[in-house]
Amino acid sequence: QRNLGSSHNLTAQALSNLAGCLHELGKLAEAEAMYRKALNVYGDTVGPRHRQVAFTLVGLAAVVREGGDLEAAEELYRQALDVCRTALGPRHPHSQMTLVALRELLTERGKDQEA
């Protein structure tokens, strides 16, 4: 942030990477805040349909899911999948992994028909 400023896509990428580290350490609240901050910066720099937004949404969804808010996690996975399919295509491995994560969550929520 000091070198690039708070509104640069590389700053957003660094924030997202840091959020992933915080998630691995079990610091869910801090990770969630960092992912959301990264999304705000991406929104201002690369726009809401960029692949980095999709990657960040998946990370945020995982944190929110682990925190127990399955409804919010489902919405985040759906957003991520939509962006993945637009930015990368439906057959891209990241699109497929996001779809698998969404299906697992739907099953966890008892939405087997939808999964």
Q: Give the CATH number for residue 19.
A: 1.25.40.10
Residues of the chain whose pLDDT is less than 50? none
pLDDT for 3 equals 60
In a domain, 114, yes or no: no
pLDDT value at residue 8 = 72
Q: Is 20 helix (H, G, I), strand (E, B) or coil?
A: helix
Tell me if 4 is assigned to some domain. Answer: no
Residue 72 lies in a domain: yes
Percent of the chain whose pLDDT exceeds 70:
94
Residue 34 lies in a domain: yes
Residue 81 belongs to domain spanning: 9-108
- Per the domain annotation, does 99 fall within a domain? yes
Q: For residue 16, what are its two tokens? A: 């997202």
Domain count, the chain: 1
Tell me whether residue 27 is in a domain. Answer: yes
Cα 115 from Cα 102, distance rounded (Å): 8
Please name the residue that has the structure tokens 């990241």: 94
20-36 pLDDT per residue, tens: 999 999 999 999 999 99
The span from the first CA to the last CA of the chain, in angstroms, equals 40
> What pLDDT is recorded for position 112?
85
pTM: 0.91
Q: What is the pLDDT of residue 2?
A: 59
Write down the pLDDT at residue 91: 96
Does residue 101 lie in a domain region? yes
Q: Say how far apart CA 115 and CA 2 lie, in whole Å.
A: 44
